[in-house]
Structure 1
Amino acid sequence: MATSDSPEELVMPPSDLPSPPSDLVRQLQDQGLIGSSARFETLYGGRTNQVWKVLGGDGDKVLKLYQTSLRNPLFRNDAELEARCLKALEASGFVPRLRATGQHQNDHWVFYDHAPGSPWRENPEPVAELLRKLHSHPVLDVAPDGCNGSADLTAHGQKILDGCASETRRRLIELRPAHTVPATTRTCLIHGDPVAGNILVAESGVTLIDWQCPAVGDPCEDIALFLSPAMQRLYRGTPLTAKEVDRFLSAYKHPEIIARFEVLRPWFAWRMAAYCLWRVENGATDYAEGLRLEMETL
Structure 2
Amino acid sequence: MPSARPPADLVRAAEAYLAEEQPDDGPLWQPLTGGRTNRLWQVGQKVVKLYDPAQETPLFPNDPGAEFSAMTTLCDAGLAPRPVARITGEFGVALIYHYLQGATGHGDMAALARMLHRVHSAPPPPGLRRLPGGSREILAQTDALMTLLPKPHAGLAELRKRLNTRDEIAPGPSVLIHADPVSANIVTTDPGPMLIDWQCPALGDPCEDLAIILSPSMQRAYGALLDPAQAAELLSAYPDAESCRRYQRLAPFYHVRMAAYAQWSLENGRATGAEGVEEDLDAARKALTDGA
Paired residues for 1:255-294 under 5 Å:
255-294=241-280
Structure 2 residue corresponding to 1:188, chosen from 175, 186, 198: 175
Map of 1:102-181 to 2, 5 A cutoff?
Answer: 102-105=87-90, 107-168=92-153, 170-176=154-160, 177-178=163-164, 179=166, 180-181=168-169
Please show how residues 68-107 of structure 1 align to structure 2 within 5 Å: 68-105=53-90, 107=92
Matched residue type, 1:52: W
Could you say what secondary structure the match of 1:286 adopts?
coil
Deviations 1:197-237 (A, max 9, x none): 10001333211000000100100000111111112222244
Partner of 1:66: 51
CA distance in 2, matches of 1:274, 1:124: 26
Equivalent position SS for 1:150: helix
Q: Is the 8 A contact 1:38 1:54 kept in 2?
A: yes
> What SS is found at the alignment partner of 1:39?
coil
CA distance in 2 between counterparts of 1:71 and 1:46 reads 13
Any conservation in 2 of the 1:51–1:62 contact (CA below 8 Å)?
yes
Greater helix content: 2
CA contact (8 A) 1:48 1:67 kept: yes
TM-score (norm 1): 0.87
* Rounded Cα–Cα distance in structure 1 between residues aligned with 2:255 and 2:121: 25
Match of 1:207 among 164, 187, 194: 194
CA contact (8 A) 2:10 2:91 kept: no
Unaligned runs of 5+ in 1: 2-15
8 Å CA contact 1:234–1:287 kept in 2: the answer is no
| 1:51 corresponds to which of 40, 45, 48 | 40
1:5 alignment counterpart: none
**Quick one: structure 1 residues 261 and 46, their matched pair in 2 at CA, closer, same or farther if it must change by over 3 Å?**
same
Post-superposition CA distance 1:54-81 (Å, at most 9, x none)? 12xxxx1000000012341011111111
Verify: 1:228 aligned to 2:212, yes or no. Answer: no
Instruction: Provide the rounded CA distance (Å) in 1 between the counterparts of 2:3 and 2:110.
Output: 35
Q: Distance in 1 between matches of 2:107 and 2:73?
A: 29
Superposition misfits of 4+ residues, deviation over 6 angstroms: none
Shift of 1:31: 5.4
Q: 1:81 is aligned with what amino acid?
A: A
| Structure-2-length-normalised TM-score | 0.89
Match of 1:152, SS?
helix
- What is the root-mean-square deviation of aligned Cα atoms in Å? 1.9
Change (3 A) 1:258 1:40: same
Calculate percent identity across the aligned residue pairs. Answer: 35
For residues 283 and 260 of structure 1, the distance between their equivalents in structure 2, rounded to whole angstroms, comes to 33
Question: What secondary structure sits across from 2:272 in the alignment?
Answer: helix
| Pair 1:144–1:121, CA change in 2 (3 A) | closer
Gaps of 5+ in 2: 285-292
Pairwise CA distance, 1:140: 3.3
Report deviation, 1:147.
1.6
Aligned to 1:9: none
Q: What letter corresponds to residue 175 of structure 2 in structure 1?
A: C
